[in-house]
Every structure is written in C-alpha cells, then in structure tokens.
Chains A and B, each alone.
Chain A
Amino acid sequence: MRAPIDWLKEYIELSLPIKELAWKLTEIGLAVEKIDEKNGSFILELEITPNRPDLLSITGIAREIAALEEKPVKLPQVQLPAKEIDLPINVNNDFSLFKRYSAVIIDGVQIRQSPEWLQQRLVQMNLRPINNIVDVTNYVMYESGLPLHAFDYKQILGHEINVLKAKGGEDFTTVDQLSYKLPEGALIIKDKNRLIDLAGIKGGLNSGIQNNTETVYLHSTVNNPLLIRKASRILGLKSDASYIYERGVDPAGTLPAVKRAASLILQTSGGKIASELIDLKNKDYQPRKLSLRFSRFEKITGIRLPEAKIVSILKNLNFDPEVTGKDELISHIPTYRKDIEFEEDLIEEVARIYGYNSFPRTLPVNPPPQKSVAYQISYDAENRLKNVLIGSGLTEIYSYSLIKNSDLDWMNINKNQVIRLENPVSLEFVFLRPSLLTGLIKAVKLNQANYESSAFFELGRVYRKNGSYGETNFLSLLKSGGSYVGIKGIIELFLDRLNIKDIKFSVLPGTYGNFPRIFDSSQSALISVKNKPLGIVGKIKNDKLDLLAVIPPVYAAEISWDLAKEYVSTAKYRPVSVYPPYKEDLSLILPKTTLAGDIITEISASSLLVKDVVHLDSYQNTLTLRIIYQAEDRNLTSSEISDLRKSILDRLLEKYGASLKKTSVRME
C-alpha cells in the first residue's frame, strides 16, 4: 500500500520526521518497506498484513497515526444535495452474495479530464488517470478502502441490477477490453439481458463510462470474499478492488463511500442527484462489544499499565472503552476492525500502541520443564558421527530434497515408490529423493575441475511411498579416487566410534532392496546390523560415471541412519590387562571361494583369549593375519597358546579348507 505523506496530512497533523514516523508505523504493525519520493513529496510503501484490510486506505492509515500521536482524524465532511429527479432502478440483491448494497444515480454529468489535484493523487498511487468519473471512484477507494463502480446508467438495460452467481462458461469483456470465459460461481451482475459486471473484480465494457455518458449509476458493495478470491484465482485476474474484497471491507462503509464519491462527481463533473440513496443490508452494522480484563493484560504481556493508559490507547483507536468493573472494560469495536475478535486481540492493540520496544526483556521465571516432549530426539549421535566423518576427510553437504526424472533414471530406482509433486516449480524439481547419492555425485562432478579428488557426505531425509508416505534418514558418503577398503574403513570407523555392534559385510546379493542400482557388484557389499540390512558400500559402476562425465573410480555408501541409530551405544570401560599380550602372525592358504571376513570372524569368536585379529596382507591365495592373545588374569603359557592355535587351525581347515603356510611369533 502506498501512502503519500501530503495526502495523509489532509486528515491528520503529522509532527514526526519522516524516518521516525516510518519506524513508529513499522513498530505498530504497518511495516514500511521503502520511502519513495515523487515530485518532491514522500510516499511510504507499506506492507499491510492480510488481517487489516482497513489499512488499505489513506484514512485507515491516518487513524493509526492518530492513535500513535494522540491526535484526531479529520474525515471529509460530505453534504450531498437531495435528489432533483427520480430515475428508475430495480436492484435484485442476494444477501449471500452482497451483504450490503449501496448506490445512487447522478444525471447530467460531463465526462472530461479530472482536475489536476485528483490526477496527482492517482499518479502518486501509481495509477493512470482515465476520466473524472472513473478517477473519483478510484480516489474514494484509496481514501476510504471501499471499492466503487460507476456504470453508464443508460447501458443498464431494463434498469435492472440482478446479482447472481455465474453458471460457468459465460463470455465477459472487461472495461479494458480483455475477454474471459467465467468460471462457475463467479459473482456477476446482469441487467435485463446482458452480463454487465464481474462484481468485485472488473467492470464490463458494455456498461462502462464512455465519453458520451450522461447518467452515472454508482454503487459500492460488500462482497462474499471467498467467491471473489476463487474467481480471481481461476481467471488469473486481479484488481485493487479484488485485493481489498478478498480481505474483507467495512460493511458500514458502503453508504458513506457512495455519498463521498457522488459529491466529488457533482464537484468535478456537474450533474444532479437522480435517485434516492439505495442501501440494502442484511442487518444493521454496529460496533461490537468485547471485554478486556486488566489482570489478563498483565498476565499475558508481563507489564502492568495504569488503567488510564489502557483506556486512553483504546479511546485513541476509536474503541470507545468503558470501564465496567474493578478488573474489566468493555470496548466497542468499530465495524472496520473485524480482525478484533478475542481478548488477546485487544491486548495486542494496547501493547503495540504502547510500543513493543518500551517493554522490558525478561526470561521465563519458572525452571525448565522436567518431562520429555513428543517427537523429541537427541542430536548427540549425529554430532559424534559427523565428527568422525570430517576427521576422515569427508565434507558435509546439504542438497535439495527435490530431484528430476533423469536423476531417478540414473539410479535405476523403481519409480512406483517415488513421490511425485502435483505442482512442481520446475522440471528440475519434481520428485522427492529416494536416495542421497545423486546430490553427492553432483558434488564430486562439480569439484573435479578444481580438485584431484573429493569426498562428501550428507545426512538427510529420503522419501518413499508404500500405501502411505514414509520419510527416513539416510547417511550417504561418496569419494572420488581411493579404494573399496578405504571407504569401508570409514564406515567401520564410525560404527566402531558409535559402538554399533554385530556388523557384517557380505557379498552383494542379486537384489538389494531399495538402494540405487549403481553399484558394481564385484566390488560392493551389503552391510547388515544384527542380520538386518543396513546399507550398501562399494564401487559405482564406471558406465554410470560415464553417463555423468565423472572420472572413475568413485566409491560410495548409503546407509539407513535411522536403523543404525537404534544400535548406537555407550562404550563400557574394561580395565587394561596387566599381563603381556602375545602376538603371532599366521599366513593361511585359502581355497578360492573362501572369504577373509569369515576366517577373521571365526578366529575372533574362537576364544575369549583372542583379543584381536588384524589383517596384515592378502596376496593371491594367501591371507596373513596377526592374532593377539591376552588374558585378563594371568600370563598365558606357551602351551595354552599352542593349544589355542591348534584348535583354531583345525577348525579353519575343517570348515573352510584353510591351511597354515607359516607362523611367526612376536612377543612383547
């Protein structure tokens, strides 16, 4: 909303310097976005919240300044002469469409350019002057917040005004000569035969003011906001009037607006009043009563204001307060303030005019609540995880949740389970991601021009539908260059640091659930925790990389973080054994099909005395491991160790066909 300072001065005395006024208005809820200067005068650009259509008018803004500065508003005094003749008009209103309908006929007008002062006002509002009748209706709309429309009376066939809802499909041409097919339910006015007005949005070409118009039919209405909003949205047609109507107009304002406009028309165009003032309404609109308890004001705001101060603020807002009890006053809410419904609304009125920045700033007095809330989580594991990952050289990214069709194709993901937007902003952002890997591969691609290798992770949501929608948190890592054991090591490291136990890496099966099918199965593994599938780690297929022009090799992992998090635990301290460990290195010859992981697991599980099994080397069919034996309570004897070794080797031979190549012993 634009508010020219010199126009405001017609209704209110302004004493504050412009910058100070701008901040005071912002503080009370009329956010000043900009101070514009046009031909030497200042114009405030205000952001008016949707609950305050009364501020879409210069007098409305003047009323706010009046409350702020404790000064009266001088509204224009209208003395409309009595009718001189009586031209017929027949209005068939429907109160469910127009709660109120006010109108008058003016005969004998002369259409010409508006006087300079009137044109000037419209220019300040960024509006093009048209003629003395149309300009007056726009002027009064900006002045009072009540949209008006002027018809050429002679074009209202049969002198009939019929207020209706469109059936749908009607043709309509606006005063500015644009044609539309109307949607069902649009508010329209018909004369005897023709559609002459798209009510509350735009007037019709067939009944608008022409250069030869002699008689003007002027009306102002209170329209059903939902119908205006719907039609305006379907047609993609907005006007200053529809903007105001969507938010709601003052139901007591139509008659004064018609009188004001009529008197300005007489002043600028000549003519005489040619009908009674028409005023159809479903009820009398009077100020509403609403009470405010002083104690409630203090309880909600935290400050006690003197009763007299509260009363005077409400008085300056035209709320006509009346103290009715020890702790209560009754306000009379003007019809233009339909946003004031609750006691809390009155509290806000007093608080904002008093000034939010005059309040002390305190902290809640009660101690913090003791109980958990619904949906509560701890970010502790996430932070521990992220610290391990950055320590491993990975950089964190946040990418968009919305991805495009080709991203899904690249991942070979079953689209039946992917959620698609009904109204995407662009084709780049249509689907909710089922995996984080497209974001990560793009990060590597973007950086390959500047960095020889790069490594990233993202911890974020992925989305699936399976009857209903599901959201889960995934952790994905991706690294250009390096090796399979390199990326696997990072995963083992963070699982270890978070004390997540019972992890297994196994050969990738033919189908691997919902993970993207971009992994090279000869260099990838399925990760499981307590035998539940947790994720996948391995090499991304080179042909997949070629498609994106990413330099191979790239290793990646995608892990269900929600599942992993269930198994995060706190490490338990174990005393360090005072007895020396006994280390020996075993070189084993394995049959082709035997997996190192199975051998290591077998040895680790063989005895409590096996403290650790370390992989030293793999060469062809030889696997070299270091076994560390240690007891908590004694020195191990050489015979104990040789017994252990023997039982391990027997078991390996029996179960896996693994035989000993050589042993070397190290002692500490």
Chain B
Amino acid sequence: MEKKISQIVNKARRQLESIKNLKEFDKLWLTFFGSSGIFTGEVKKVSRLKAFEKPRAGKLINASKKELEALFANKKAQLLKKGVPSKIDVTLPGKKPQIGHLHPQTLVLNDLMDIFRFLGYRVAVGPEIETEWYNFQSLNFPPDHPAMDTQQSLKVPTDKNGNAILRTQTSSMQVRIMEKSPLPLRVIVPGKCFRYEAVDSSHGFEFWQLEGFAVDKNIRLTDLFGTIEFVLKKLMGESTKLRFACTNFPFVEPGVDTYMECTVCKGKGCSFCKQTGWSEIMPAGMIHPNVLKNSKIDSQKWQGFAFAIGLSRAVTLRYGIDDLRILTNPDLRILSQF
C-alpha cells in the first residue's frame, strides 16, 4: 500500500507539470479525487484492512492526502496567477546575500600561485623564526658586511636549533629547499618577513614576499627575463611595461632588478612612484655559485635563477593602494571593496 501511494503521489506530481489551464486541471483533479479516482480507491481500501493495520494505514492516507492537496493547490494558484500577473518594480535593488570578503593579499597570492603552477612551479612554505645561516651566510652574505644594513633583523634569544632571528627575506628558503630536493626543481615560497625598520607608507617591519627559484641544466638569464615578464603581465595586465637593470644581491650573479611602469600615472611620474614613472617590483638574478655550493649542488652541472616579488607591494600596485599599512587595517569600509 505504501508503494502504491507513493506511486500515486509521483504520478500526480508528473502530470501536474504538463497542465496548462484550469480546464485540464479540473479534469486531472477528478482522475485522482473523483468518486472513482485512483486516490479515492486507495482510501476505500482502508476500511477493508484488519483492525491492527488500520491506524498506520490511516496515518499514511492522511499524510499523502495533505501532500496531494498541496500539490494541486500550488498548481491552481500558479494557473490563476498566470491569468493576472502582478506587477513589480523591476528597478528595485536586488537583495544581496551577506557574504564576507577575501583579503586583497589572498586574491593576489592566489593569482600568483595559479600563474606559477601553470609554469610548473611547486609551492612551499617554511619557518619565519630562522637561523643566521639560512637567512644570510648560506646566501653568500659576507660576514658583518654593509650588504646586511639594508636588511636589519629582529632578534630572538638563540634556541637549541640555532634559530636567532625573524627571517628578513623568503630567500632564507633557497638553501633549505635546494639541499633537500631532487633536481631539477621549480618552486615558489610565499611568506611573511620581518625587518628592524621604522614603519612608513612604503615600509613595514612586517611584510610579505614571494620567493621563487628554478634550477635545471640549462636555465638561462633570458629565461629569467621571460619568466618575470610572463608573470607580471598575467598579474598586472598584458599592457604592463617592464625594464630590467643590473643590481647586486650577494646571492645572485648576474643580478637583476625589475622596474614596472607605474600603474598609477602610467609612467608620467607621480607621488606613488616618487616621480620616476617606474616602480621596483621584482629583484632577481642567476643563483650565485656559492649558494649552489652551500646547497651541495655542482654549479658547473646545474644552474638556475631566483627572484622575489614584494607581495605586499604587488597588492598595493595592483589595486592602487597608496599606503602599505592599509593591508593590515581591518576596517570593513576598506576590506569590503575587494
């Protein structure tokens, strides 16, 4: 009986779908609820059941009757509405579901990870509390040299693993990864960095970088130029203009700095780019043979490039944010713009 009734309900649901006017509707009503209707037939069966079966069957019938009636009532209401459609003001604003916002830094990071994965890079992360070795010496920083003045570190008491500073750059992951990974490799490392530095609109003691490096038998300087161009055009738009300059970082040779035409003034010069029309965005270079040596890699057999994107900086450039501190400001009037 249960099966039969659920079949009847399903049948009603199916047939109601194709009903187009009230005349057809009335006809269908009779096939279910008329004196010889199929549902009426089932109701009649209850009286013939044994006494102990009756309560359960009764409940079943009542429930399904309600359901059927509701189905018919709905359809009738629909058909009646069709006749006289009520008018609404379609220019009223829609009701937006209240959802939250991803931080712009997450949006840029996700885009960058997508772009780099497309180029065959893996994503890795590592410690922020770091040893002097991985942050400086392994990267060919000469001991106590002015090269370190640009990256003064925040210090913590040295622990038993030799951790003594907060990393000043995600490049601290270069030797960590290279000494433990099979070659060839391509990897990016996003993460937070810290420096002993006063806070202003373009500097912070905490900021994010995205480090990347590739090692293979034939990775060339031209590949570095091409990779940077590919990535920045995907991230900032195909019309992005770039130029490269020589610079020095202890852990690369040749060293490269990347200048991107200012996104705010389009190269005319504004306060955002300090009137130069260009912003430094991506320092890079061919990995220095000493860094490969420190990773126990033979620099005559393997070679590669490394680069870093100031992630926080890329976010400000992409969205035209004129102050780095906006990125740690939790004001919803700011965050809800993204």
Contact A397 B330, beta carbon cutoff 8 Å: yes
A543 to B157, CA, bound (A): 35
Q: Are A421 and B154 within 8 A (Cβ)?
A: yes
Judging by beta carbons under 8 Å apart, are A425 and B144 in contact? no
Main secondary structure of the interface of B (DSSP, over half): mixed
Contacting residues, chain B, for A377 (C-beta < 8 A): 123-125
**CB within 8 A of A50: which of B56, B159, B244, B248?**
B248
Quick one: CB contact mask for A371-401 with B, threshold 8 Å, 1 for yes?
1111111110001001001111111111111
* Complex-state Cα separation, A468 to B67, whole angstroms: 66
Within residues 270 to 322 of chain B, which ones have a CB less than 8 A from any CB in chain A? 274, 276, 286, 288-289, 303
Is A405's beta carbon under 8 Å from chain B? Answer: no
How big is the B interface, by class? 35 or more
Check B122–A376 contact: CB distance below 8 A.
yes
Residue A303 at the chain B interface, CB threshold 8 Å: yes
**Most central of B6, B147, B196, B253 by chain A CB within 10 Å:** B253
Determine whether the beta carbon of A229 is less than 8 Å from that of B146: yes
Q: Which residue of A lies closest to B255 (CB)?
A: A348
Tell me which residues from 88 to 112 in chain B have a Cβ below 8 Å from any Cβ of chain A: 98-103, 105-106, 110
Q: Is A362 an interface residue (CB 8 A)?
A: yes
Interface string of B180-224 (1 = CB under 8 A from A): 111111110100101011110000011000000010111111110
Interface residues of A in 339-394 (CB under 8 A from B): 339, 342, 344-345, 347-348, 351-352, 356-357, 359-369, 371-379, 383, 386, 389-394
Partner of A31, one of B124, B144, B257: B257
Chain B min CB distance to A363 (Å): 5
Q: CA A468 – CA B156 in complex, angstroms?
A: 11
Q: Bound complex: CA of A443 vs CA of B182, how far in Å?
A: 44
Q: Does B226 have its Cβ within 8 Å of any Cβ on chain A?
A: yes
| Min distance, Cβ B326 to any Cβ of chain A, angstroms | 11
Query: Given A367-B120, A369-B186: A50 and B147 within 8 A (CB)?
Result: yes
**Measured CA separation A615–B42 after assembly (Å):** 34
Contact assessment for B222 and A342 in the assembled complex, using a CB-CB cutoff below 8 Å: no
B267 at the interface (CB under 8 A from A): no
Min CB distance B274 to A, Å, is: 8
Q: Does A486 contact B (CB under 8 A)?
A: no
Cβ contact within 8 Å between A396 and B123:
no
Report if A665-B154 is in contact (Cβ < 8 Å); known contacts: A379-B113, A393-B98: no
Interface size in chain A (residues, C-beta < 8 A)? 101
A303 to B217, CA, bound (A): 16
Query: A363 and B226 in contact (CB under 8 A), knowing A29-B245, A369-B120, A400-B328?
Result: yes
CB–CB B129/A463 < 8 A:
yes
In the complex, are the beta carbons of B205 and A359 less than 8 A apart? no
A95 to chain B, nearest CB (A): 20
B197 touches A425 (CB 8 A): yes
Q: For residue A246, which residue of chain B has the nearest CB?
A: B146
Q: Is the CB of A368 within 8 A of B176?
A: no
Q: B159: shortest Cβ distance to chain A, in Å?
A: 5
Taking CB atoms, residues of chain B closer than 8 Å to A368 are 119-121, 186
| Interface membership of A230, Cβ < 8 A | yes
A469 with B335, Cβ < 8 A, contacts A51-B248, A361-B222 known: no
Digitize A457-475: 1 where CB-to-B-CB distance is under 8 Å, 0 elsewhere. Answer: 1000101010111010000
Contacting chain A: which of B23-31, B33-41, B57-65, B74-82?
A: B57-65
The 8 closest A-B pairs by CB, nearest first: A368-B120, A302-B220, A443-B330, A348-B254, A302-B222, A374-B180, A352-B246, A29-B246
Residues of B within 8 A of A (CB): 2-3, 6, 56, 59-60, 63-64, 67, 98-103, 105-106, 110, 113, 119-129, 143-147, 149, 154-157, 159-161, 163, 166, 173, 176-177, 180-187, 189, 192, 194, 196-199, 205-206, 214, 216-223, 225-227, 229-230, 243-248, 250, 253-257, 259, 274, 276, 286, 288-289, 303, 327-328, 330-333, 335-336
List A residues at the B interface (Cβ < 8 Å): 26-29, 31, 33-34, 49-52, 226, 229-230, 246-247, 299-303, 339, 342, 344-345, 347-348, 351-352, 356-357, 359-369, 371-379, 383, 386, 389-402, 419-425, 429, 432, 439, 442-443, 446-447, 450-451, 454-457, 461, 463, 465, 467-469, 471, 580, 635, 638, 665-668
Pairs A–B under 8 Å by Cβ, sample size 12: A247-B146, A301-B222, A342-B288, A344-B254, A366-B218, A401-B206, A420-B156, A425-B199, A432-B156, A442-B330, A450-B331, A465-B159
